[in-house]
Structures are given as C-alpha cells and as structure tokens.
Structure 1
Amino acid sequence: MKNIVFPVDFSDTTDVLIDGAVDFAKEVMGKICLIHVAPADIGFAIGDMGFQYFPAIEENEIAEELRELNEIQKRIEAKGVACDHILKQGVSADIILNYAKEKNASYIVMGSHGRSGMYDVFVGSLTKEITKNSEIPVLVIPCHD
C-alpha cells in the first residue's frame, strides 16, 4: 500500500482537499498519512512585559487541533480509505518533508489557492516550497474559484 502524506491546516478549503486526497488514494490504492503542523510558538504572547509563555493556551490549542485531526481521520475512513494522523510543531515545510521521508511516502497531496506574485513575497506559499524541495511527487489540488 502506498503512503500519501496529506498536510491539513483546517482552512476553508480542507473539505475540497479531503475529497481530492480520498479520490487519489482510491486510484492508487493508498493510505492517507494526515499531518497538521502547529507553530512552535503557539503558547507565546507579547505584551508590556515582553514575551510570555502560557502553557495552558498551548495545551488547549493542541487538544483542539488533535480533535479536528481525529474528525478528519474518521471522515476519510468512512469513505473507505485507511488513514492515520499526527500533529507536530515546528517549521511546516521541514516537518512535512521529513514526515514524508519517515513514512516512505509515495506522494504528498496539497492544495493551491492560485495566488502568486506579491502574495508569495509577503506570505510565502507552503505548497510552492514543498514542490520546490520535495524528492517525492506532489499532487497539487486547486482550491480557488
């Protein structure tokens, strides 16, 4: 069975991406390896006293993101595709590419909002970075109108 790494960010395009990833997994008889990368600084805030760390905020956010991952896994499995999931913290592109190697993935499935130009200069594009640096084929599903 082929492993397909499928990063999710819980954005408004996640439903479209789930459908595309499931369809692709069925075509190649693959298993979806769902991953969400949370920022490493999720519990930090800046205020009058500088940077402060709030472990309760981080714990609550991680718990909510794990709940969402569980729900997505159940949706994928209900469509007849094997799935597991993991949540990691750090730099998204590095974590995703390393995870794909760990899982001996055959593919990475990601979305594209169809933005370019100045958006990439100021915000960056995770999909663009992954496709540029991946040794594994990347299937890009368009998520724009």
Structure 2
Amino acid sequence: MAPHVLVPLDGSPQSWAAFDYAASNYDAGRITVLHVVNPMEGVYGDYGGGGYYDAQAHERAVERGEELGEEARYRADDAGILATVDLETAVETGATARTILDYAAENDVDHIVMGSHGRSGAARILLGSVAETVTRRAPVPVTIVR
C-alpha cells in the first residue's frame, strides 16, 4: 500500500523545506498539504471590552491557504512527481497542532513531514512549539525538517 504523507504548510521557508523533502522522498502514494487557519483570524478587539469579527480577514486567510496549495502543486510539477503522486490540498481552521493531529487521525495519514523554526529558550517557552506537540502526540511517525 502506498503511503499517505501529510505536510503542514504555513508558507515559511521551513515548511517549504519539509514539502521539498516529502516530494523528493515519496515518489509514490499520496501527499496532502494542509494549511491551518488560526480561528482568531478576523477577530479584533477594541480595548473597551467589545470587539468584532471581520469575516473578510478570515476569508483572506483561507484564500492564502488555497494559494499555498497551488504553489505546492507547481513545486510538485517541477519535481516531476505528479505522475506518480496524488497531491491533495486542504485548508482547515483550528488550533494548529490539534488540527494537524486530528487531520492525520481522521484521514489515514501514515507519516507527517513538517518544518520547525528551531526556537529555543524563552521563545520556545512563550510561543510553544507546534512541531514538538505534533511529534509527541502523533499516532504516526513524524519527520521534522529545518
């Protein structure tokens, strides 16, 4: 059975390195690129306790995810793998690590390949690490690319 590889994309150089790694190491099967939109995208506060939701901001974030999927298709075509790899794209909204893990569990993913920003120290403590959370909790093997 051909593997199903999940590659989360956020548009960073690290996530593209992960995609390029997957494209060069999995020349058969299925690769799904997943862009996760922050559910707070489009929510603005006004310091007065109120706030409002700008649906257009959320729509733009979803469109950006779709554009990343299109760019992944161009890269896969340049790598010459589209003849043997079924490339799928997905855009989901949610907490990044949880959404990646849920997608992997619900879509029979065999392997996750993702980029890491390589933060350490205070930045890692304050910002957290999506790659670390996914690695610790994933039900499948995870490859981290820097």
TM-score normalised per structure 1: 0.87
Confirm or deny: 8 A CA contact 1:43 1:57 kept in the other structure.
Answer: yes
Distance 1:48-1:119 versus aligned 2 partners, 3 A rule: closer
Q: Secondary structure at the match of 2:57?
A: helix
Q: What is the CA distance between 1:46 and its match in structure 2? A: 1.2
Identity of aligned residues (%): 27
Distance 1:45-1:125 versus aligned 2 partners, 3 A rule: same
Q: Secondary structure at the match of 1:104?
A: coil
Q: Structure 2: give runs of 5+ residues left out of the alignment.
A: none
Q: Does 1 or 2 have the higher relative contact order (CA < 8 Å, sep 6+)?
A: 2
Q: What is the CA distance between 1:17 and its match in structure 2? A: 2.1
- Report the aligned-residue RMSD: 1.7
Q: What is the CA distance between 1:32 and its match in structure 2? A: 0.7
Pairing of 1:19-38 with structure 2 (within 5 A): 19-26=20-27, 29-38=28-37
Confirm or deny: 8 A CA contact 1:77 1:83 kept in the other structure.
Answer: no
Q: What is the CA distance between 1:103 and its match in structure 2? A: 1.8
For 2:7 and 2:59, the matched residues in 1 are separated by 24
Paired residue type of 2:21: G
Asked whether 1:111 is paired with 2:115, we answer yes
Q: What is the CA distance between 1:48 and its match in structure 2? A: 5.0
Q: What is the CA distance between 1:64 and its match in structure 2? A: 2.7
Paired residue type of 1:128: E
> Counterpart of 2:70?
70
Tell me which stretches of 4 or more aligned residues in structure 1 moved more than 6 Å.
none
For 1:126 and 1:85, the matched residues in 2 are separated by 20
Confirm or deny: 8 A CA contact 2:14 2:116 kept in the other structure.
Answer: no
Distance 1:83-1:135 versus aligned 2 partners, 3 A rule: same
Q: What is the CA distance between 1:65 and its match in structure 2? A: 2.4
For 2:125 and 2:96, the matched residues in 1 are separated by 17
> Counterpart of 2:3?
2
* CA deviation string 1:28-87 (max 9, x = no partner): x33211101000111111125521111122222322321222221232244213210100
Q: Secondary structure at the match of 1:82?
A: strand
TM-score normalised per structure 2: 0.86
Pairing of 1:33-52 with structure 2 (within 5 A): 33-48=32-47, 50-52=50-52
> Counterpart of 2:91?
87
Q: Structure 1: give runs of 5+ residues left out of the alignment.
A: none
* CA deviation string 1:6-35 (max 9, x = no partner): 101111333322211112212xx3321110
Confirm or deny: 8 A CA contact 1:5 1:108 kept in the other structure.
Answer: yes
User: Would you say how many aligned residue pairs link Structure 1 and Structure 2?
Assistant: 140
